Chain A
Amino acid sequence: MTGPVGDPGDRGHAGTLTVSGGGIRVATDTVFTEMAALRLLQGEAEHWQGQIGRVRSMGVGPAPGWQPDDLGACVFGASVAIDAVADRSGQLADALEQAAEEYARLETGLDVVLRGTGAWMAHTLGVLAPVLALAAATPLAYLAAGSLLSSAALGRTPSVVPPWLTDWLRENPRLLTNPATVAMVRALVSSADEAVLGRLGVPYPVAAVMGDEGSGLLGAQSSAFGLLVAARAAGMLRESPVRVSQVGSSTGAAGVAGDPARAGGVGVRPTGTGAAGGALVAPPTVPLRGPATRPGTRLAPAPAAGTSPAAELAPPGPPTGFADLADRIPTEEDGGQVRIERYGDPEHPSWLVYIGGTVEWSPTGSTEPWDMASNVAAVAGQEAGSYRAVLQAMQAAGVQPGDPVLPVAHSQGGLIANQLVSRGDVNAVGMLTFGAPETDLPLPDGLPAIAVEHADDIVPALGPRADEDQRLYVRRELFAGREVPAAETLPAHQLVGYRETARLVDDSPEPRLVAFRAQLDTIVGTTPGEQTVWRAERVD
């Protein structure tokens, strides 16, 4: 079901949301608005019948004696009409609900067909052409996107994508910002293994069983891991230790985390940051899992040597919805990649951890941990530099094992958030991501997890999807009926667009989105909290 698109000139509240996943229903927010209005009317009609019953109980005379204009006859007529209102509004709401369920079945069927077709096409390509490189479809796509962004934004020469392709894609911005392209990429990403197996001469039925479409023996994670090893041998996508510094605070304290002298406090293990030179990091750096801290035993964030002056920030008010959450995800303008907010009293705090998206798109590396090395490492299931940086920032901010944590993230930050939650490194009470690459990482049962994606944003399609996924996907085509900005690379992936979409999500009456907002209220309470902003850098 396609909802109305807005006036091209109105970027405020144009567009329609589609909500899917969680194994329940798929529908646009238009449908949910209609459904909610009809259910409201049905409830009102039932209330009116109660009021009419009270009028009758006071006496309206016996029916045989009614004249057309008598109170009894009029009340009876009103009662019949109100009954009809209740019945019809209920029937219409039921019909919308049924349509949403049918739509979900249709979407699932189409998805299966698309993925199956993608697997077959990939296998055929593997047989017919030397396309072994498709084995790395997911990380290669990252590299391609990164090269495009770096060439567009920084004027660098692309190192992965041929210049003619870069120029052509730049001249045709609609190609990469197109739901059809996104669907095709999603199918190809999930079919990389079929291409390899086809190239190796494995018949399609066997390849289908062995690849993502079948048993899942192979997948994007293993492809990314293979690329990571190869790239590091060539001096690219190298990991390194990271250091985290506080660059902003509403409490005035500043600190640095990530050096061995900082080792202290809850959950600290050996930092494991000796990954310089390309070794893959295995253990978590600062895991926050473990038994909850008993009241009165909380440790204050340890002060660190080499503190640097931090900008003074205002105490944050409790976020009230998706728009507030999206607005607080840090960008380069904030000076850091992680914002951490604390609500509640010191002995029973709740934490909101905002994680930004990729900053450095070049595969050759820099001091920026939010880079392509971290992107590919995260897809490969490894602990990326950015992942370790987030754990260190949380540690330095005072997050204790068992504390309720709600990660809110954009793009690469979404990969990190999924890893944090899936590994149990934090006591997650929910998760919200914007434009994050999809992932097949399992989540704790019943965890409210919402993934906001633009249907014309190619980045979410770059990750693998699980067959059984409890995440609730909220999708919107950002540039439906609108001109795609030619000056921006991957404009549908930019945080500014997701912030606009978050405002639409706040207006949605979809029950699970409403429930998420209600849960947010209980997490953050009503009084202002404290916030810190953290900047991480690689310290090769």
Chain B
Amino acid sequence: MESAGGSILPDVSGGPDAETLARLREQRRLLRGVRDEVEASGRRLAGQELGPAWRSPAQRAYGTGLGELSANLRGAWRALDDALWAVDDAIDRVKAAL
């Protein structure tokens, strides 16, 4: 079990099986969907460039807030991408153990 799933599969006591694989695949589907949506939202946000009228300090502060929001989205995307990599890795190991 340890070699097959590590901490990803802590609840599987009977060893890797088709059910475990299906669960990992569902997790991958969900994570991929969220990651893709985060990516699309990040692109949309990047498209909202502030025009030349956004000049006042308050407007610049708002622009800074948008920049931080974009950074949050990038962070979420990276974490989700890493999670997907971890699930893919786990799936490969489960497949190898079957």
Contacts and interface: CB of A to CB of B under 8 A. Distances in A.
Interface of A: 2-5, 16, 30, 33-34, 37, 41, 44, 48, 51-52, 54-55, 58-62, 65-67, 69-72, 74-75, 77-78, 80-82, 84-85, 88-89, 91-92, 95-96, 99
B73 to A, nearest CB: 6
Given A70-B7, A78-B76, A92 B27 contact: no
Contacts of B62: 92, 95-96
Given A92-B62, A92-B66, A75 B30 contact: no
Given A48-B37, A48-B38, A71-B87, A37 B45 contact: yes
B83 interface: yes
B92 interface: no
A74 B82 contact: yes
Contacts of B6: 61, 67, 70
A44 B87 contact: no
24 contacts: A30-B53, A37-B44, A41-B69, A48-B76, A51-B30, A54-B30, A55-B27, A59-B8, A59-B10, A60-B8, A61-B7, A61-B10, A70-B7, A70-B8, A70-B86, A71-B7, A71-B27, A72-B7, A78-B79, A78-B83, A82-B38, A84-B76, A85-B76, A92-B65
A394 to B, nearest CB: 44
Interface in B1-34: 6-11, 23, 26-27, 30-31, 33-34
How many chain B residues sit at the interface, stated as a range, is: 35 or more
Contacts of B69: 41, 85, 88-89, 92
Contacts of A81: 72-73, 75-76, 79
Interface of B: 6-11, 23, 26-27, 30-31, 33-34, 37-38, 41, 44-45, 48, 51-53, 58, 62, 65-66, 68-69, 72-73, 75-76, 79-80, 82-83, 85-87, 90
A74 to B, nearest CB: 4
Contacts of B75: 77, 81, 84
Given A3-B51, A4-B52, A59-B11, A88 B80 contact: no
Nearest to A75: B83
A30 B82 CA distance: 36
A6 to B, nearest CB: 10
Nearest first, the 3 closest Cβ-Cβ pairs linking A and B are A61-B7, A74-B83, A81-B76
Contacts of B11: 59
Contacts of B44: 37
A88 B65 contact: yes
A74 B34 CA distance: 13
A85 B72 contact: yes
A62 B34 contact: no
B79 A44 contact: no
Contacts of A54: 30
Contact of B9 (A5, A44, A59, A88): A59
Contact of B58 (A44, A69, A85, A99): A99
B2 to A, nearest CB: 10
A91 B61 CA distance: 13
A388 B56 CA distance: 52
B34 A51 contact: yes
Given A44-B37, A85-B76, 4 more contacts: A30-B51, A33-B48, A58-B26, A71-B7
